[in-house]
């Protein structure tokens, strides 16, 4: 008679997109999975809070690459619509170039071509070619390259893949690439703005990332009704359907190691044993603070030399009136775009004339604010590792409010009934974020694929890392993919070996 043994137990640290994705994918493969989250609820940077009748998404607000989410849920025989309802935004967003100079970016391609032609005669045809190339990069990059674990150069040794990578302009800069198609400064800002959040100037970002323009201009900007946290709720429900156990207010203090293997983790409530550990928390924190020095693959000097994506100064604002001149997404490019990028990446400092972004989800969704009120999320991308005292936050609050009020043509500050700021020290406190970054590791050429921090510990045979500081990179869709990639590596290397 054979005695049944329990399947291996995986502990996943962190209930962000990558952690939930890894946990659910491993549970589907037959592992017992427990997720330990330091905060009071799931989502990581995509947490949510409520105050005075307003519902605020704390982090991500753009829903791009809907196919990545559909593909994720389809792995479990589900659809996105089983968990939340999507609405395509039209206009996709508004860009403010200056006083009385704002433009809506239409969702329909015919109208978008007309807009480009308005700014630069002949550019509509060039937009077609630009997006044709970007579509190819998206197809190869998102459907093939980003699902590679990037642990060996031999993963990319396929001759066809090498040809694809040449066609995807990996060695050309985004700056040079877009100027082959467009010259008008406003069109250049429009196609380069996603780079600001990828973590580098367009001069230092591979032209491969024009795939983001395909995601933006062709696939469109969407909104999950009820807010971005609906994605998290859906992922949690799916995880629980697969048998994942989630434990909140469980901050991991140490990953314990014996004979080259992680045996479990120590939390404030005690020791939890594991056969496999997947760290979905901040990679730097997990390695430098949860492991003893002899088990770390990288040192502080290594991390200090990494180019980080930006941090953010955020304001969550509740107003007792509506602002009809705003759209759901609003980009304020009414100051020097290149200067702001320089002050983030090349000479890190608080920006002298910041660009900023305003999300007003109540323009689309009446459930996120009381009747007659507006829900605002204001974001200034800033360099990581800056001091962020209250007086600095207040200075920038009034700086951007001056410009926002000028744009809408009315007083806003007197209508504020709720206000909360969030910046570097909050990212560090809530997420152990390295240098207070908001978006992870920058997507520079020297930090792409195999040049990113590895997803597998080289000193501990059953310890893995997932999230925006490893492959494939920053952003919600890449984090979702990162968890799936790690789950595949765990299954390949660890299998369902019974203890």
Contact indicator for 319, 373 with CB cutoff of 8 Å: yes
- Closest by CA position to 47, among listed 37, 58, 36, 55: 58
- In this prediction, residues 261-290 reach a mean pLDDT of 98
Residue 178 backbone dihedrals phi, psi, to 5 degrees: -70, -25
More confident residue, 145 or 36: 36
Quickly state the pLDDT bin for 443 (edges 50, 70, 90).
confident
Beta bridge partners of 9: 32
Contact indicator for 277, 11 with CB cutoff of 8 Å: yes
- In this prediction, residues 146-152 reach a mean pLDDT of 90
- In this prediction, residues 388-416 reach a mean pLDDT of 98
**Range with the lowest mean pLDDT among 102-111, 165-174, 318-327?**
165-174
- In this prediction, residues 392-410 reach a mean pLDDT of 98
Beta bridge partners of 421: 315
More confident residue, 357 or 2: 357
pLDDT at 346: 86
pLDDT at 2: 42
Counting Cβ atoms within 10 Å, is residue 477 exposed (0-12), middle (13-18) or buried (19+)?
A: buried
Instruction: Please write the tens of the pLDDT for every residue from 210-255.
Output: 999 999 999 999 999 999 999 999 999 999 999 999 999 999 999 9
Gap between the Cα atoms of 38 and 320, Å rounded: 34
pLDDT at 197: 63
Q: Is the peptide bond before 91 cis (omega within 30 degrees of 0)?
A: yes
Q: Which fold has domain 9-85+227-306+442-494?
A: FAD/NAD(P)-binding domain (3.50.50)
pTM of this structure:
0.96
Quickly state the pLDDT bin for 143 (edges 50, 70, 90).
confident
pLDDT at 499: 31
pLDDT at 5: 79
pLDDT at 1: 39
Quickly state the pLDDT bin for 162 (edges 50, 70, 90).
low
pLDDT at 199: 66
Instruction: Please write the tens of the pLDDT for every residue from 69-80.
Output: 999 999 999 999
| Mean model confidence pLDDT for the chain | 94
The dihedral over CA atoms of 165, 284, 349, 48, expressed in degrees to the nearest 10, equals 90
Share of the chain above pLDDT 90, in %: 85
């Amino acid at each position: 008679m054979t005695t049944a043994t329990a399947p291996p137990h995986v502990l996943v640290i962190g209930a962000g997109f990558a952690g939930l994705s890894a946990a659910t994918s491993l549970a589907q493969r037959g592992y017992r999975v427990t997720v330990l989250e330091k905060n009071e609820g799931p989502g990581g940077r995509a947490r949510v809070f409520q105050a005075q009748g307003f519902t605020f998404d704390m982090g991500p607000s753009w829903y791009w690459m809907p196919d990545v989410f559909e593909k994720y849920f389809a792995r479990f025989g589900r659809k996105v619509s089983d968990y939340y309802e999507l609405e395509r935004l039209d206009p996709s967003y508004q860009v403010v170039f200056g006083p009385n100079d704002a433009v809506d970016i239409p969702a329909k391609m015919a109208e978008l071509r007309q807009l480009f032609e308005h700014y630069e005669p002949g550019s509509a045809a060039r937009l077609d070619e630009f997006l044709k190339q970007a579509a190819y990069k998206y197809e190869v990059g998102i459907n093939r390259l980003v699902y590679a674990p990037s642990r060996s150069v031999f993963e990319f040794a396929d001759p066809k893949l090498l040809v694809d990578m040449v066609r995807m302009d990996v060695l050309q800069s985004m700056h040079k690439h877009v100027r082959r198609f467009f010259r008008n400064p406003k069109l250049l800002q429009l196609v380069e703005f996603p780079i600001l959040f990828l973590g580098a100037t367009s001069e230092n970002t591979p032209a491969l990332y024009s795939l983001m323009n395909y995601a933006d201009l062709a696939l469109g900007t969407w909104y999950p009704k009820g807010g971005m946290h609906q994605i998290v709720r859906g992922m949690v429900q799916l995880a629980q359907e697969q048998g994942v156990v989630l434990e909140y207010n469980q901050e991991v203090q140490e990953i314990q190691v014996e004979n080259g293997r992680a045996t479990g983790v120590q939390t404030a409530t005690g020791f939890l044993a594991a056969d496999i550990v997947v760290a979905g928390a901040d990679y730097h924190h997990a390695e430098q603070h949860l492991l003893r020095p002899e088990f770390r693959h990288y040192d502080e000097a290594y991390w200090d030399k990494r180019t980080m994506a930006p941090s953010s100064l955020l304001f969550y604002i509740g107003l007792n009136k509506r602002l009809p001149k705003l759209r759901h997404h609003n980009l304020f490019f009414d100051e020097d775009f290149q200067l702001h990028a320089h002050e983030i990446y090349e000479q890190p400092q608080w920006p002298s004339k910041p660009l900023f972004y305003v999300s007003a989800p109540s323009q689309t969704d009446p459930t996120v604010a009381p009747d007659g009120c507006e829900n605002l999320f204001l974001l200034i991308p800033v360099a990581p590792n800056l001091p962020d005292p209250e007086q600095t936050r207040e200075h920038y609050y009034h700086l951007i409010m001056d410009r926002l009020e000028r744009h809408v043509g009315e007083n806003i500050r007197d209508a504020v009934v709720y206000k909360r700021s969030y910046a570097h020290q909050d990212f560090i406190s809530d997420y152990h974020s390295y240098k207070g970054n908001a978006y992870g590791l920058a997507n520079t050429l020297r930090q792409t694929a195999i040049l990113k921090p590895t997803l597998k510990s080289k000193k501990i045979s059953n310890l893995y890392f997932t999230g925006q500081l490893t492959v494939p990179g920053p952003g919600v869709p890449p984090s979702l993919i990162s968890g799936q990639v790690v789950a595949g590596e765990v299954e390949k290397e660890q299998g369902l070996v019974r203890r």
